[in-house]
Amino acid sequence: MRRLVTSEAAFAAGFAALLADRDTVQDVGVPVAAIIAEVRAHGDAALIALTERFDHVTLTAERLRLSAEEIDAAVAAVPERLHAALDLAARRIEAFHRAQMPHDLRLEDAAGVTLGLRWTALDAVGLYVPGGKAAYPSSVLMNAIPARVAGVGRVAMCVPAPGGALNPLVLAAARRAGVSEIYRIGGAQAVAALAFGTATVAPVDRIVGPGNAYVAEAKRQVFGRVGIDSIAGPSEVVVLADAANDPRRVAVDLLAQAEHDEAAQSILITDDATFADAVADAVAAELPTLPRAAIAGASWRDHGAVIVVRDWHEAAGLVDRLAPEHLQIMVAEPEHLFGRIRHAGAAFLGAFTPEAVGDYVAGPNHVLPTGRTARFASGLSVYDFLKRTTWVAADAAALARIGPAAVALAEAEGLGAHARSVALRLGSGGAA
């Protein structure tokens, strides 16, 4: 764990190293390209072979997709209290995303030209849900519900089943979110199948959802053929906390990110050096009690940091440079401090709003920009499942007012047919 103090001479170099930490990317481009090529060439047969190789599951083309009976059985195995929790989360996520839905635009300008913008949903979306180290039913809700709210007609879900095991809660979340097309395939091969299609898996228009380095690289390589949400990296949180907070609560908040993955990053920024030490001690005391202590410990050791600042103005500047995926603000006036920060994927204000509540039931999406991309990117929303089409309508009188300028510009660019296309419609009554 790094300990940095802004008043010390070594801070600039230490902070630069902290920023560089997020620039480390596992290079899997070559093997991912080979997997994609294999799926494109051999379709279902490649999916079957790759699933056996990576997940140690022997499938047939008929078993790539889960049957309704398999989904029913999994849903029935989920305790009622977890169904109730899923339902609460789903209702809150749906309500927040429904409030995001934009409206079409239509206006007539001073020249008499009618201008418009129309929103339409994508036809088909592919949802990738991680397996492996952890299964995330919450990710199913966060990805599928906005797509449904936006009006996407088809949502196809891929989830790996290492050793043949599927988490029933993941399938229950899919059922609650309205997803019935589910495939037991994962990795880069699942992304390739969604992008290019096979005999069993019809192609989609956009692929969303987090995954490992192979999944992220596969999404990068198929972008252009399909849309993607983002190239997601390891999870991260920055916690701004003053000494009025309970050190143990802050420590657990940091560890809540660290337990995601060994490459996750948790950073505390505080204006009190004694409190910084108390939180670090609390982390050390809490770590051995966690079910994922080895993962959280590696993350905290290799990527964690505690930064002591002179004041909160200085802290706000550091947050903007870090541009974190998650930002917790635990100070006396959190909304005021948040107003001075420009770059964060999602913010959680106050001592009773831990980031973990945002992962599940707050309502806003938990699929967020990582690796400092919050400088230019946003979290998942209904806009990821909609597209805009602009339109224009002009009569002869309106074209007469704006057309000559178009002719002049087209001629200046040397595009004669462009100029003539407009000029032929100008003049007496617009006769061609």
Q: List pLDDT tens digits, range 358-417.
A: 999 999 999 999 999 999 999 999 999 999 999 999 999 999 999 999 999 999 999 999
- Longest pairwise C-alpha distance within the chain: 86
The structural domains of the chain, ordered by start, are 2-25+233-376 (3.40.50.1980), 43-101+119-228 (3.40.50.1980), 394-430 (no CATH)
Range 28-40 average pLDDT: 97
Q: Reply yes or no on whether 325 is catalytic.
A: yes
Beta strands in 235-330 (DSSP E): 236-241, 265-270, 305-308, 326-330
> What is the reported pLDDT for 130?
87
> What is the reported pLDDT for 134?
58
Q: Phi and psi of 300, rounded to 5°?
A: -65, -40
> What is the reported pLDDT for 103?
97
Query: Given 38, 236, 325, 355, which residue is catalytic?
Result: 325
Confidence class for position 247, pLDDT limits 50, 70, 90: very high
> What is the reported pLDDT for 429?
42
Residue 2 has pLDDT above 80, yes or no: yes
Q: Reply yes or no on whether 303 is catalytic.
A: no
Q: What is the pLDDT of residues 43-86, one digit of tens each?
A: 999 999 999 999 999 999 999 999 999 999 999 999 999 999 99
pTM score, whole prediction: 0.93
CA distance 293 to 363: 29
Q: What is the pLDDT of residues 107-138, one digit of tens each?
A: 999 999 999 999 999 999 999 998 754 578 99
Element (H, E) at 387: strand 386-393
> What is the reported pLDDT for 411?
97
Confidence class for position 302, pLDDT limits 50, 70, 90: very high
Confidence class for position 432, pLDDT limits 50, 70, 90: very low
Q: Which residues neighbour 428 within 8 Å (Cβ) at sequence distance 6 or greater? A: none
Neighbour-count burial for 313-344, b at 16+ CB within 10 Å, e otherwise: eebbebbbebbbbbbbbbbeebeebbeebebb
Lowest-pLDDT range, 188-197, 204-213, 282-291, 308-317?
204-213
Residue 354 has pLDDT above 70, yes or no: yes
Cβ–Cβ < 8 Å for 276, 270: yes
- Rounded to the nearest integer, the mean pLDDT of the chain is 95
Whose tokens are 């419609």? That residue is 425
Range 269-283 average pLDDT: 98
> What is the reported pLDDT for 24?
63
Query: Given 97, 303, 326, 343, which residue is catalytic?
Result: 326
Confidence class for position 27, pLDDT limits 50, 70, 90: confident
Range 90-111 average pLDDT: 98
Q: Phi and psi of 388, rounded to 5°?
A: -105, 135
Range 10-22 average pLDDT: 93
